[in-house]
Structures are given as structure tokens and as C-alpha cells.
Amino acid sequence: MMIQNRSAIEAKLEEYEGLVIATTKKWRYAITYDLSDDDIKQELRLKVWRALNSFDPTKWNGSVTDIEKERRHVFGAVLNRVKDLMAKKKREEEILGEDCQEDRGKRPAAHKSPSPWIMENRDVCMDHHVLSGMTNEQKLILMFLNAGYSRVETMALLSFKESAFKRELVVISEHVKAYQASS
């Protein structure tokens, strides 16, 4: 029994709004750095909508009512989406390293020091000859990293996708190495 009527699905969506809100509150910091609460809620609402649209009680075994089957189906779909987001966050942490573990989507404390690479290469990174060969985006990346922001925070503040941000870091590193080799 797939719900085909749009108004019926919208009414059902309202019934599951409490699940969406409670799940967002409970799992907010465990599932992502780069999505706001509203974005997470929207992701979960979409999952609820898809679950309601695909629900077929005849495919379920057991002696529970169709309403209970629907609730279990929707809850399972929402829980699976949370697991997917948690797995995505774990992959981000593995790729970007320790920065992710300390971020939690918050600005660093004023006493937080720049990354070890920035500290080791601070004089070179801020040298006029090195900076003159960089784009404005690369200069901004250096500025934020030098101010103590983590890579994840810098990426979010400058609206970079992960792959583009990594490319920029490689280019910055190459600029620094080339300058060090020439001096």
C-alpha cells in the first residue's frame, strides 16, 4: 500500500516531525560538521517522505498492525540516514586528520595555536615573494590557518569543497617548497 496521494503524504510527514526534531537534537554533533540543524532536518524529512512513499505493508511479516509496520519502516529509514551521515563524518575525519576531531563546528578558542606545518613555515608562508605567486583564495587559506582555524573550519568559512580545498593546500605547499629550494 504505497501512499500515492500528495496530501496524504504531507499529513503523514507532519506526524513524523517529532521524530525528525528529536533525531536532529540527539545526533547533531555525531553526524556532521558542515550541515546546519535545518539542513539535517530537511535531510531526515526527505528520508521520511521516501520511506512513506515506498512503504508496502504486504512485504512485512509479523502480526503487528499496518500502522506499527509503517512506524518501524520510517524509523528504520531515518536511523539508516543517521548512520550514513555518521559514516560520512568518519570518512572526513580520516581524510582530514585530527582537525575534525576537535572542531565540532565551533570557532577555536583564542589561545588555539596554528597547525604545526604553519608554525614551521610561518616566515616563508608570510613572505611577500611566496604570497605574490598565490591566488586570493590561497592567501585566505593561509590567513585562517595562521590565525589558528583548523582545516575543516577554514574550508567551511571559505565555502570550499573538500577536494578543491585539498588541491589548494597542495599548491600552497608547492609554492613554499619552491621558495625554500630557491633561497
Q: How many angstroms separate the CA atoms of 114 and 120, rounded?
A: 10
For the chain, which domains are there?
A: 6-96 (no CATH), 101-182 (1.10.10)
pLDDT computed for residue 127 by the predictor:
62
Judged by phi (left if over 0) then psi (alpha if -120 to 50, else beta), residue 170 lies in: alpha
Q: Which of 163, 162, 114 is nearest to 142 (CA)?
A: 114
What share of the chain in percent tops pLDDT 90? 1
Output the CA torsion 30→31→36→39 (10° steps). -150
What share of the chain in percent tops pLDDT 70? 73
What predicted TM-score, i.e. pTM, was given to this entire model?
0.50
Can you tell me the mean pLDDT for 27-50? 82
Model pLDDT for residues 67-122, shown as the tens digit of each residue: 888 888 898 898 888 888 888 777 766 665 544 444 444 444 443 555 555 555 55
pLDDT computed for residue 93 by the predictor:
66
